[in-house]
Amino acid sequence: MFMKLIILISIGIFVVLGVSYGLLQKTAPAAPIVKSYEKNTQDRPKAFIEKKTADMGTVKVSGEARADFVIKNTGKKPLQLFDISTSCGCTLAQVIYQDKKSPLFGMHTKGDFDKEITPGTEAQIKVIYQPYVMPVYGKVEREVYISTNDPENSKLVFQVTAFVK
């Protein structure tokens, strides 16, 4: 009788562990598959950014400010955007491509997002600064980080500045 009880408990533990493992595998975001290219390859994506900084002016600590940036693919292969994050919890970023909006990305929100920008097209990067999330006063600088598969621009950094009062 005692041996049957130990066997049943052991089987129960293995079932619970197996189900837990299966659930964790389904909920964990998959890393994007990034197509890599060499710098000297002509047939590759190319990220063109006209401006990487924006001054949001004066913002009330209870307010919100926004800035937009554009990434254009001037290459011959799809430009992948992935691993999007920000330098502070008060700053959010969103990719808008062909009228479709990505989720909002912040300091701790990396996921399985992977957007391909086809050659000759562009994506808009919307940056939202919310000073009330981490109240500071005076001049502030915040950044948005975006990884790409362009070997010459593998990590894009967009910077916004504001004066918080």
Residue 4 has pLDDT above 80, yes or no: no
54 found inside a domain = yes
Work out the burial of residue 65: count CB atoms within 10 Å of its CB; fewer than 13 is exposed, 13-18 middle, 19 or more buried: buried
What pLDDT is recorded for position 2? 67
pTM of the model: 0.80
Do 149 and 116 fall within a single domain? yes
Q: Assess contact for 128 and 63: CB atoms under 8 A.
A: no
Do 81 and 16 fall within a single domain? no
Full residue range of the structural domain in which residue 8 is found: 1-26
Do 16 and 60 fall within a single domain? no
31 found inside a domain = no
- Alpha-carbon distance of 149 to 33, in angstroms, equals 10
Do 9 and 69 fall within a single domain? no
Do 54 and 107 fall within a single domain? yes
Do 141 and 95 fall within a single domain? yes
Q: pLDDT tens for residues 7-44?
A: 666 666 665 656 556 555 545 456 678 898 998 889 99
108 found inside a domain = yes
3-state secondary structure 62-126: CCCEEEEEEEEECCCCCEEEEEEEECCCCEEEEEEECCEECCCECCCCCCCCEEEECCCCEEEEE
Rounded to the nearest 5 degrees, what angle is found at the Cα of 131, between the Cα atoms of 147 and 113? Answer: 25
Q: What is the mean pLDDT of the chain?
A: 88
Residue 52, CB-side half-sphere exposure with 13 Å CA sphere: 12
Q: Quote the number of domains for the chain.
A: 2
For residues 96-112, give the mean pLDDT: 88
Do 4 and 84 fall within a single domain? no
The pLDDT confidence band at residue 128, using thresholds 50, 70 and 90, is very high
* Across 59-73, 108-122, 142-156, least confident range: 108-122
Do 153 and 100 fall within a single domain? yes
